[in-house]
Amino acid sequence: MGNSLRADLRPLTSKLALLWPVAIGLWPVGCTKDLDLIQDPPRAVARTTTGPWASMIYLARTDSGLVAIDLGWTGAEGVLEESAGDLGGLPSDVRYVFLTHAHRDHIAGWPLVRQARFVLGAAEIPGFVGDTGYLGWATRMSDGLNDYPHPSRDRVSIVGIGADTAVVLGRDTVFAFPIPGHTAGSMAYLFRGILFGGDAFNWRPGSGFQGARPEFSDSVAQSRESLRLLWDRLPAARVRVICTSHGKCAMADSVLRAQLLR
């Protein structure tokens, strides 16, 4: 019995070894895709943080000061400083942060902009402050390897959003849409014709655009259903470009919308 168990375990171990790079974020997708579509200096810049996982930080200057969409991963501090500099400011000038979700690879820069008001899905707040974890198996494996800094509720200003919401920032408006599934509090934000969909949108070489990936998601089925509902209430003419939170962008059209439901 001992021998047959070992024989059974060997192929399983080698499969786990193959999956390991996915789990720890070393899949070779470090490049960006058509990020130029949303570059608009000195009004807005988008950069990805270091490493092959390439998480995007988008920074814009509005009448209400600097706003950020997502806060990246390793190297977020340098990216925030560089991008804020491009917009004539500092990370300490960021007034609002909009988080598509609070997985570790999208929040790392929070200590540098802790003065900001953090806007995120109401159901995402426990994950952001570290009270609860996530369900995707690769996410759980990665989070189990080492902890990472979370803000505490009484040290930062957090605004939870539970329904479609418009946040007016002078001449700009951020339209916020709950799209639960990838995580319970995943959000999509429409800003200046760009739809930021977090990891409910995904792009890989070969397969192209598709919806949330199962290994990192709480519920793929719920994420697809959320996008179906979003497409129903978001007029096509309002969205010029769609971007994943890993710096993969494309012109928005009906083909792309269909691909993201796959």
Which residues of the shown chain bind Zn ion in the complex (CB under 5 A)? 103, 199
Supply angle C-alpha 202, 204, 210, rounded to 5.
40
Cβ 24 to Zn ion shortest distance, Å: 14
Continuous segment of H or E residues that includes residue 56 = strand 56-62
* Angle between helical axes of 2-23 and 137-145 (0-180°, round to 10): 90
CA distance linking residue 177 with residue 183, whole number of Å: 14
Structure tokens at 66: 């600097």
Q: Return the number of the residue (70 or 199) whose C-beta is nearest Zn ion.
A: 199
Q: Return the number of the residue (115 or 132) whose C-beta is nearest Zn ion.
A: 132
Structure tokens at 186: 């995943």
Q: Return the number of the residue (54 or 66) whose C-beta is nearest Zn ion.
A: 54
Q: Return the number of the residue (61 or 224) whose C-beta is nearest Zn ion.
A: 224
Phi-psi region of 29 (alpha: psi -120 to 50; beta: other; left: phi over 0): alpha
CA 122 to centroid of chain Cα atoms: 16
Cβ 245 to Zn ion shortest distance, Å: 7
Cβ 168 to Zn ion shortest distance, Å: 28
Cβ 101 to Zn ion shortest distance, Å: 5
CA distance linking residue 257 with residue 254, whole number of Å: 5
The CA–CA distances, whole Å, from 196 to 22, 56, 155 equal: 23, 10, 27
Cβ 7 to Zn ion shortest distance, Å: 36
Cα–Cα nearest to 53, from 179, 150, 114, 142? 142
At 62, the amino acid letter reads T
Long-range Cβ contact pairs of 85-89 (< 8 A, separation 24 or more): 86/41, 86/42, 86/45, 86/59, 87/41, 87/42, 87/43, 87/44, 87/45, 87/59, 87/60, 87/61, 88/42, 88/61, 89/61, 89/65
Q: Return the number of the residue (47 or 103) whose C-beta is nearest Zn ion.
A: 103
Q: Return the number of the residue (21 or 193) whose C-beta is nearest Zn ion.
A: 21
Cβ 86 to Zn ion shortest distance, Å: 26
Q: Return the number of the residue (87 or 196) whose C-beta is nearest Zn ion.
A: 196
Cβ 99 to Zn ion shortest distance, Å: 11
